[in-house]
């Protein structure tokens, strides 16, 4: 079995459902000769949608199941029955997923908000049944149309983690130790470089405030990372969206490095990746302050860089409270409402589909004339001219009863004929 826990780039093949074919069928019923066509339409094929989900942190589920198909629409049936619509496939993806078409390289969408959904492959339309093809000259049509094919696509999904805070530092600076100390995440910590090979997310829960913020720990950055040295700088894309960056510096220089050089390396690597990263609010943290070497080197660091770092010890948690407070002051995390708000059903359907459904609903409510009524409009106009009455679209006026004139409410009057029949029954 494949065993992976964090995946940040995957290939996904999607195939929407095909529309069902329309039916060619005739009404067969006792005492109904020449019943006419009654073949219903085919159902639409299911769509494939990507849905933003804040509880999903990685694309690993897609990595395990890289091909998804939505259901096909059912065939139309006799007695005007519509084929069943194909079932949609909704794929939850983490917030920050960038979707590209692999063939064209074009960006399809970027999922950023919880509940936001994009149709990445649209289901085919259902075919028309033979009932649509009857006319005065062809009262027994056998013609129907086939459903159209569902869309197919090969997509590349890239995840840019949406963390509020990004930890950057050289290998073994203590980034993972810091994340372990302030969150419930437990990334591996060890005394060798590149212990962390994949980004790890952690959430700082603020006591009593029902608020939280997220921190991303990424693999160490070394000099030349932008040219591929070490693990490269691709992981920096996970902190591209972070509102605040925390530079973690090993102030003790355990690996024989000079902390001021480490700081300069981080600045130059970030600049090489994207100069805008340096314009973000950032905190510089002097880690390993429990070691005498660190306390010795701190003044020299301040002198060389002109930066006053926050002294901390990730191993025993000293100074981390002050760091979290400083981050809260900048981020101002909002209290999270208990439970999730219910998403409107349309939220899960591409804008075009939602708009079409809303229009159909408005029509049904009588906001606009139904399409069929609009098509009948010319005939209705002629009738109105003949009878001198205005017709309301979609409404068939009551037929006048012979001998009763065209008085309003004529439809409520019981015809003479029925009286006489009733009378003869009573007489018997
Ligand atoms: N003395 C001391 N050691 C620390 C402190 N923080 C981390 N360490 C040690 O430093 C080493 C590296 O720590 P990690 O947290 O794995 O460092 P990292 O920055 O995540 O390293 P990579 O994942 O390899 O980039 C481990 O042996 C830790 O025990 C600290 O505050 N004091
Ligand atoms: Mg680490």
Residue 75 in any domain: the answer is yes
Q: What is the CATH number of the domain that holds 135?
A: 2.70.210.12
Domain finish residue from 93, 127, 159:
159
- Same-domain check for residues 326 and 177: yes
Residue 10 in any domain: the answer is yes
Residue 177 in any domain: the answer is yes
Ligand (nearest to CA of 287): 1
Structural contact between residues 53 and 343, judged by C-beta atoms closer than 8 angstroms = no
Following DSSP, what letter does each residue of 356-372 receive, concatenated? Answer: HHHHHHHHHTTSS--HH
- Same-domain check for residues 89 and 230: no
Least confident range from 118-127, 214-223, 249-258, 380-389: namely 380-389
For the Cβ of 288 lying below 6 angstroms from any atom of ligand 1, the answer is yes
Instruction: Indicate which atom in ligand 1 lies nearest the CA of residue 248.
Output: 19
Residue 349 in any domain: the answer is no
- Same-domain check for residues 142 and 236: no
* Predicted pLDDT of residue 129: 96
Give dist(CA 410, CA 348) in Å, integer.
49
- Same-domain check for residues 31 and 144: yes
State CA 36 to chain mean position distance: 45
Of these ranges, 3-17, 89-103, 186-200, 414-428, the one predicted with the greatest mean pLDDT is 89-103
- Same-domain check for residues 16 and 142: yes
Domain finish residue from 331, 357, 379:
331
pLDDT tens-digit series, residues 7-25: 788 999 999 999 999 999 9
pLDDT tens-digit series, residues 293-318: 999 999 999 999 999 999 999 999 99
- Same-domain check for residues 149 and 178: no
Contacts 24+ apart (CB under 8 A), 350-359: 350/47, 350/49, 350/117, 350/118, 350/119, 350/122, 352/119, 353/47, 353/119
- Same-domain check for residues 88 and 191: no
- With bands split at pLDDT 50, 70 and 90, how would you rate the model's confidence at 107? confident
pLDDT tens-digit series, residues 181-238: 998 888 889 888 888 888 888 888 887 667 788 899 888 888 888 888 888 788 888 8
Least confident range from 4-18, 81-95, 347-361: namely 347-361
Find the DSSP H helices in 318-401: 320-331, 351-364, 371-387
- Same-domain check for residues 210 and 304: yes
Print the domain residue range for 114.
Answer: 1-159
For the Cβ of 236 lying below 6 angstroms from any atom of ligand 1, the answer is no
Query: For the chain, what's the residue count?
Result: 428
Structural contact between residues 134 and 37, judged by C-beta atoms closer than 8 angstroms = yes
Give dist(CA 390, CA 408) in Å, integer.
13
* Predicted pLDDT of residue 110: 86
pLDDT greater at residue 296 or residue 354:
296
Predicted TM-score of the model (pTM): 0.60
pLDDT greater at residue 400 or residue 252:
252
On the question of pLDDT at 408 being above 50, the answer is no
- With bands split at pLDDT 50, 70 and 90, how would you rate the model's confidence at 358? low
On the question of pLDDT at 394 being above 70, the answer is no
- Same-domain check for residues 138 and 216: no
Give dist(CA 270, CA 233) in Å, integer.
9
- With bands split at pLDDT 50, 70 and 90, how would you rate the model's confidence at 84? very high
Nearest by Cα to 97 from 151, 48, 54: 54
Average pLDDT over residues 70-99: 94
Ligand 2 geometric centre to CA of 254 (Å): 15
Query: For 424, left (φ over 0), alpha (ψ -120 to 50), or beta?
Result: alpha
Burial of 366 (0-12, 13-18, 19+ CB in 10 A): exposed
- Same-domain check for residues 17 and 103: yes
On the question of pLDDT at 342 being above 80, the answer is no
Residue 264 in any domain: the answer is yes
> Angle at Cα 70 formed by Cα 68 and Cα 76, nearest 5°?
160
| Total number of domains constituting the chain | 2
On the question of pLDDT at 388 being above 80, the answer is no
Strand, coil or helix: what is 294? Answer: helix
- Same-domain check for residues 195 and 148: no
Residue 6 in any domain: the answer is yes
Instruction: Indicate which atom in ligand 1 lies nearest the CA of residue 177.
Output: 15
Instruction: Indicate which atom in ligand 1 lies nearest the CA of residue 169.
Output: 19
* Predicted pLDDT of residue 421: 42
For the Cβ of 314 lying below 6 angstroms from any atom of ligand 1, the answer is yes
For a pocket test of ligand 1, which of 167, 173, 177 has the largest count of ligand atoms closer than 8 A to its C-beta?
177
pLDDT tens-digit series, residues 155-197: 999 888 778 899 999 999 999 999 999 988 888 898 888 888 8
Ligand (nearest to CA of 192): 1
Give dist(CA 391, CA 393) in Å, integer.
6
* Predicted pLDDT of residue 382: 52
Domain finish residue from 331, 354, 377:
331
Ligand (nearest to CA of 195): 1
State the chain's mean pLDDT as an integer: 80
* Predicted pLDDT of residue 405: 39
Torsion of CA 280, 286, 287, 291, to 10 degrees: 170
Residue 368 in any domain: the answer is no
Structural contact between residues 154 and 106, judged by C-beta atoms closer than 8 angstroms = no
* Predicted pLDDT of residue 333: 83
Average pLDDT over residues 271-279: 90
Of these ranges, 62-76, 97-111, 364-378, the one predicted with the greatest mean pLDDT is 62-76
Q: What is the CATH number of the domain that holds 248?
A: 3.40.50.300
Instruction: Indicate which atom in ligand 1 lies nearest the CA of residue 220.
Output: 25
- With bands split at pLDDT 50, 70 and 90, how would you rate the model's confidence at 385? low
- Same-domain check for residues 55 and 121: yes
Residue 362 in any domain: the answer is no
Following DSSP, what letter does each residue of 24-67 receive, concatenated? Answer: --B--BTTBTT--B---PPPPPPPEEEEE-TT---SHHHHHS-E
Interhelix angle 175-182/320-331, nearest 10 degrees: 80
């Amino acid at each position: 079995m494949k065993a992976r826990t964090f995946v940040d780039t995957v290939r996904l093949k999607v195939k929407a459902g095909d529309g069902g074919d329309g039916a060619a069928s005739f009404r067969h019923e006792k005492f109904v000769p020449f019943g006419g066509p009654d073949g219903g339409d085919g159902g639409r094929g299911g769509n494939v949608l990507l849905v933003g989900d804040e509880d999903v942190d990685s694309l690993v589920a897609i990595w395990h199941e890289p091909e998804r198909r939505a259901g096909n629409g059912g065939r139309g049936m006799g007695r005007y029955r519509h084929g069943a619509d194909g079932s949609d496939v909704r794929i939850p993806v983490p917030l920050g997923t960038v979707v590209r078409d692999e063939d064209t390289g074009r960006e399809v969408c970027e999922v950023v908000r919880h509940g936001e959904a994009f149709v990445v492959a649209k289901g085919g339309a259902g075919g028309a049944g033979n009932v649509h093809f009857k006319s005065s000259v062809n009262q027994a049509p056998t013609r129907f149309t086939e459903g159209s094919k569902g869309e197919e696509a090969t997509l590349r999904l890239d995840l840019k983690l949406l963390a509020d805070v990004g930890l950057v530092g050289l290998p073994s600076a203590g980034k993972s130790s810091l994340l372990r100390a302030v969150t419930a995440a437990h990334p591996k910590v060890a005394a060798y470089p590149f212990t962390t090979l994949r980004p790890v997310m952690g959430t700082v829960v603020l006591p009593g405030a029902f608020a939280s913020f997220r921190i991303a720990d990424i693999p160490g950055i070394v000099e030349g990372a932008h040219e591929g040295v070490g693990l490269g700088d691709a992981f920096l894309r996970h902190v591209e969206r972070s509102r605040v960056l925390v530079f973690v510096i090993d102030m003790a220089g355990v690996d024989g490095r000079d902390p001021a050089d480490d700081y300069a390396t981080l600045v130059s690597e970030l600049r090489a990746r994207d100069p805008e990263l340096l314009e973000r609010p950032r905190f510089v943290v002097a880690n390993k302050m429990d070691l005498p070497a660190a306390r010795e080197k701190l003044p020299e660091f301040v002198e060389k860089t002109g930066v006053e770092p926050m002294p901390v010890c990730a191993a025993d948690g000293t100074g981390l409270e002050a760091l979290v407070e400083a981050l809260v002051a900048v981020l101002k995390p909002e209290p999270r409402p208990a439970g999730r708000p219910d998403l409107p059903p349309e939220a899960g359907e591409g804008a075009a589909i939602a708009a079409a459904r809303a229009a159909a609903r408005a029509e049904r409510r009588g906001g606009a004339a139904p399409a069929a009524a609009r098509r009948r409009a010319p005939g209705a106009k002629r009738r109105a001219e003949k009878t001198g009455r205005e017709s309301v679209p979609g409404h068939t006026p009551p037929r006048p009863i012979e001998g009763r004139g065209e008085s309003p409410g004529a439809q409520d009057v019981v015809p003479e004929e029925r009286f006489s029949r009733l009378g003869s029954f009573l007489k018997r």
